[in-house]
A and B are shown apart, each in its own frame.
Chain A
Amino acid sequence: MTERTERKEHIFDKYLRQDKLPHIWCPGCGNGTVVNALLHAIDKTGLEQDKIVLVAGIGCSSRANGYMNFCGMHTNHGRALAYATGVKMHNPELKVIVLTGDGDCTSIGGNHFIHACRRNIDITTVVFNNANYGMTGGQYSPTTPVNARTKTSVYGNIEPNFDICSLAATSGATYVARSTIANATMMVSQFEKALNHRGFSVVEAICDCPTLFGRINKLGDAVAMLADKKTRFITAAQAKNMTPDELSGKIITGEFVNRTNLPEYTEQYDVLIKNAKEEE
Chain B
Amino acid sequence: MEDRFAIMTGNEACVRGAVVAGMNFFAGYPITPATEIAEIASALLPKKDGKFMQMEDEIASIAAVIGASFAGAKAMTATSGPGISLMQENLGFAIIAEVPIVIVDVMRQGPCQGVATAPAQGDFMQTKWGTHGDHPVIALAPASVGEVYVETIRAFNLAEKYRTPVHILSDAMLAHMSERVRIPEAKEYEIVNRKTPTCAKNDYKPYQDDGTGVPPMAKFGDGYKWYVSGIIHDETGFPVTNEPEQIGLQIRRLLSKVENNRGDIEKYEEYRTEDAEILLSAVGMVSRSAKAAIDQARNEGIRVGLLRPITLWPFPERRLAELAGQVRTIVTCEMNEGQLFHMVRESAGGTNVRRVTQNNGKIISAQKILTTIRELQTND
Q: Which positions in A face B, CB cutoff 8 Å?
A: 17, 20, 49-51, 53, 55, 58, 65-66, 69-76, 79, 82-91, 93-94, 111-112, 115, 269, 272-273, 275-277
The B59-94 residues at the A interface (CB cut-off 8 A) are 59-61, 63-73, 75, 89-90, 92-93
B93 CB contacts on chain A under 8 angstroms: 75-76
Question: Of B49, B56, B64, B67, which one neighbours A73 at CB under 8 angstroms?
Answer: B67
Known: A53-B221, A73-B228. 10 other contacts (CB 8 A): A53-B220, A66-B227, A74-B230, A76-B89, A82-B55, A83-B70, A86-B64, A87-B67, A89-B51, A90-B75
Chain A residues within an 8 Å CB radius of B59: 79, 82, 112
In the assembly, what is the distance between CA of A122 and CA of B55, in Å?
16
Q: Answer yes or no: B231 CB below 8 A from chain A CBs.
A: yes
CB-based contact A72/B72 at 8 Å: no
* Contact indicator B57/A86 (Cβ below 8 Å): no
CB pair A84 B67 closer than 8 Å: yes
Chain A interface, DSSP helix/strand/loop, else mixed = helix
B325 at the binding interface (Cβ < 8 Å): no
B369 nearest CB across to chain A (Å): 43
Q: Does the CB pair A87–B90 fall under 8 Å? A: no
Provide the residues of chain B in CB contact with A85, threshold 8 Å: 53, 55, 60, 63-64, 67
**Pick from A71, A75, A82, A115: contact of B226, CB under 8 Å:** A71
How distant is the Cα of A269 from the Cα of B72 in the complex, in angstroms? 18
Query: Does B238 reach chain A (CB closer than 8 Å)?
Result: yes
The residues of B that contact A83 with a CB separation of less than 8 Å are 63-64, 66-67, 70
Q: A residues within 8 A CB of B69?
A: 86
The 10 nearest A-B residue pairs measured at CB: A86-B67, A82-B63, A86-B64, A276-B46, A82-B60, A86-B68, A74-B229, A90-B71, A83-B67, A90-B68
Q: Find out whether the CB atom of B225 lies under 8 angstroms from the CB atom of A71.
A: yes
B130 CB to nearest A CB, Å: 15
The answer to whether B27 has its CB under 8 Å from any CB of chain A is yes
Are B25 and A89 in contact, CB atoms less than 8 angstroms apart?
A: yes
Q: Contact at A72–B228, with CB atoms within 8 Å? A: yes
How far is A72 from B206 in the complex, measured between Cα atoms in Å? 12
CA distance A277 to B27 in the complex (A): 20
**B47 interface hit (Cβ, 8 Å):** yes
A86 adjacent to B90 (CB under 8 Å): no
CA distance A69 to B238 in the complex (A): 13
With an 8 A cutoff between CB atoms, is B223 at the interface?
Answer: yes
With most chain B CB atoms within 10 A of its CB, the pick from A20, A51, A72, A269 is A72
The proximity string for B residues 260-295 relative to A, scoring 1 for CB distances below 8 Å and 0 otherwise, is 000000000000000000000000000000000000
| Minimal Cβ-Cβ distance residue in A for B73 | A90
**Is the CB–CB distance between B229 and A273 below 8 Å?**
no
